[in-house]
Amino acid sequence: PSGSSSAGDCVEPTPEPCGQGEGRDGDGECQTCPADTYSENEVCVPCPEGSNSEAGSVSKSECAIKIITDPPTDPPIDSTTDNPTETPTDPETEKPTDPKTEKKKKSTLR
């Protein structure tokens, strides 16, 4: 108040509460919690290891277990030509062949 003589009379104004999915930054401003975190008591808390969330998540229950997808089934790329490499196939079965097995077949056919 005006005319106060002690530091104890000075009171910081109470900040406005943050919205859902927000936490306070280093300056005390409300910011949307980033992806892979959730808001708890105006603090952005990291999701548990092995889980993730969208930005603005409001609870730990929104942290979902990361799903690992199978690698692509496209043929490997030949780094010298940027073309997919050909996989040798057995003309009789049209299935991919193992070069080691092919050598054995040829040597026994002599």
For the stretch 47-88, pLDDT in tens is 999 999 999 999 999 999 877 666 666 666 666 655 555 556
Give the pTM: 0.50
Res 12: pLDDT: 73
SS3 30: strand
* Angle in degrees, CA 84, 90, 95, rounded to 5: 65
